[in-house]
């Protein structure tokens, strides 16, 4: 039931002044809730939100400041994107709007410093039900592409959830030189960082001030965090032999490893399960684009999931395509992946791997939610309502504004541009 009682103005002001005014409570009722948990799907359910958290699911009694009737429509956790340069690129072919990489980018590269929460691609991705995203850079000349970071798609200035996150490394086929050098470089960098870590530890225990004992470099400090298990290593690899080499390094150094790409993943699925290594996969990859990806197939996501590999579905590369993330899940479902597992691959699994307090409709989780007009994986379905941390979000994109602008009747010539109109876009 709705609590419509109004406080006297004087009392409301007093409460606000003392900071004791309670947070607003939202009840989303009569929803078909896909929880992405062991509870599965709940019908005619109520989700209770206070401030930015889910505080109740189907409570017997509740009071809410605002009620929203979902009219039986599908409510899911917000989708979590990954492996793209969202907010780093506005127009890919315009160099001055592309901050996704640098030739000198390496282990310590922090692309979050170039993130633009007002990028037009963010509002467009929200229309596809995406509420958060792991942003990566394309790197530079090094095998290391820097540190990924996680953002909310709220468009607010403080929408970076965590900076200097997982470290991205690329191994495999090279246009020049041997793939062996990439794996050797990674192994040597880890060994050097481990040695630097041991020396720093001995120096600290001995309380030594010997100037000849060098402090770990910035790059080694990042790798030391990887060795400690405080930072995930995301390795982009496709060929089975490269994946197995990475699994050996994981075992040797007890790394938190995630494989991205994994065209040959199904060939070594049991090894991935045994090593407890998740895989980020694009379920739309169905043709080889080189000798490393001869085993690309739209059934790979289903095969990996059936084997017990934790999968995350992704559309890597161009952030302009993030809007279509749910379609990659739809195609995975059409090729054997159970629908609820596909939903988890876009929500709960990603939240686990990227250490987010979202991805599930569960008490205590952040209220990142999406209300759909139908099945989220159907092409004709649209997002009707989207909340990030319990706050309803704007669903109008730059594309909508352009459509409305050029379909509106005007006495001005069709291609006429005014500065004020351009700024609004």
Q: What is the pLDDT of residue 211?
A: 60
Going by their DSSP bridges, the two strands 233-237 and 167-170 should be labelled as parallel
Q: What is the pLDDT of residue 1?
A: 36
The length of the chain in residues reads 425
Q: What is the pLDDT of residue 202?
A: 84
Query: The tokens of 11 are what?
Result: 């009392």
Q: What is the pLDDT of residue 33?
A: 98
Residues 240, 296 contacting (CB under 8 angstroms): no
Q: What is the pLDDT of residue 421?
A: 52
Q: pLDDT by residue (tens digit) across 151-197?
A: 999 999 999 999 999 999 999 998 889 999 999 999 999 999 999 99
> Tokens 């890597």 identify what position?
316
Query: Which phi and psi angles does 49 have, rounded to 5°?
Result: -125, 135
Q: What is the pLDDT of residue 130?
A: 98
DSSP string, 191-239: HHHHHHHHHHHHHHHHT---TTSPPPPHHHHHHHHHHHTSS-EEEEE-S
Any idea what DSSP says for residue 101?
B
Q: In whole angstroms, what is the distance from residue 108 CA to residue 220 CA?
A: 9
* Residue 45: its H or E element: strand 41-50
Q: Which CATH class is domain 1-78+360-394?
A: mainly beta
Q: What is the pLDDT of residue 402?
A: 75
What is the CATH architecture assignment of 79-357? Alpha-Beta Barrel (3.20)
**CA dist 236 → 110, 112, 225, 240, 316 (Å):** 18, 20, 19, 12, 11
Q: In whole angstroms, what is the distance from residue 263 CA to residue 279 CA?
A: 10
Q: What is the pLDDT of residue 6?
A: 46
Q: What does the domain layout of the chain look like in residue ranges?
A: 1-78+360-394, 79-357
Q: pLDDT by residue (tens digit) across 76-130?
A: 999 999 999 999 998 888 889 899 999 999 999 999 999 999 999 999 999 999 9
Q: What is the pLDDT of residue 409?
A: 74
Query: Which residues, given as ranges, of the chain have pLDDT below 70?
Result: 1-22, 208-213, 413-425
> Tokens 């963010």 identify what position?
122
Residues 328, 334 contacting (CB under 8 angstroms): no
């Amino acid at each position: 039931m709705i609590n419509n009682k109004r406080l006297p103005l004087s009392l409301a002001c007093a409460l606000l002044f003392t900071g004791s005014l309670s947070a607003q409570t939202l009840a989303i009722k009569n929803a078909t809730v896909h929880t992405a948990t062991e509870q599965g799907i709940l019908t005619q359910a109520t989700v209770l939100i206070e401030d930015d958290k889910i505080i109740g699911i189907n409570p017997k009694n509740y009071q809410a400041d605002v009620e929203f009737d979902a009219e039986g429509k599908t409510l899911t956790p917000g989708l979590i994107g990954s492996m793209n340069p969202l907010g780093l690129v506005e127009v890919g072919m315009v160099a001055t709007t592309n901050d996704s990489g640098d030739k000198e980018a390496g282990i310590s590269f922090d692309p979050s410093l170039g993130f633009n929460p007002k990028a037009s691609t963010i509002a467009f991705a929200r229309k596809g039900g995406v509420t958060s995203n792991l942003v990566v850079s394309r790197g530079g000349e090094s095998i290391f592409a820097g540190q990924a970071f996680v953002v909310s798609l709220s468009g607010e200035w403080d929408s970076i959830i965590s900076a200097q996150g997982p470290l991205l490394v690329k191994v495999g086929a090279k246009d020049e030189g041997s793939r062996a050098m990439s794996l050797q470089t990674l192994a040597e960098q880890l060994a050097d960082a481990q040695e630097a870590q041991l020396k720093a530890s001995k120096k600290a225990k001995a309380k030594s001030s010997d100037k000849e004992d060098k402090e770990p470099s910035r790059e080694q400090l990042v790798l030391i965090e990887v060795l400690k298990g405080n930072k995930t290593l995301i390795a982009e690899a496709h060929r089975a032999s490269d994946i197995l080499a990475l699994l050996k390094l994981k075992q040797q150094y007890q790394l938190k490893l995630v494989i991205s790409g994994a065209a040959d993943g199904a060939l070594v699925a049991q090894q991935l399960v045994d090593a407890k290594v998740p895989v980020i996969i694009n379920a739309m990859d169905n043709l080889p684009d080189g000798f490393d990806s001869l085993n690309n197939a739209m059934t790979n996501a289903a095969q990996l999931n059936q084997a017990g590999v934790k999968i995350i579905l992704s559309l890597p590369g161009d952030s302009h395509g993030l809007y279509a993330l749910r379609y990659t899940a739809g195609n995975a479902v059409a090729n054997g992946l159970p629908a609820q597992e596909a939903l988890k691959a876009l929500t709960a699994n990603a939240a686990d791997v990227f250490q987010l307090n979202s991805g599930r409709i569960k008490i205590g989780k952040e209220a990142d939610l999406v209300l759909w007009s139908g099945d989220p994986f159907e092409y004709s379905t649209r997002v009707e309502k989207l909340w990030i941390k319990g706050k309803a979000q704007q669903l109008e994109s730059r594309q909508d504004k352009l459509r409305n602008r050029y379909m509106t009747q005007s006495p001005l010539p069709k291609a006429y541009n005014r500065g004020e109109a351009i700024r609004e876009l």
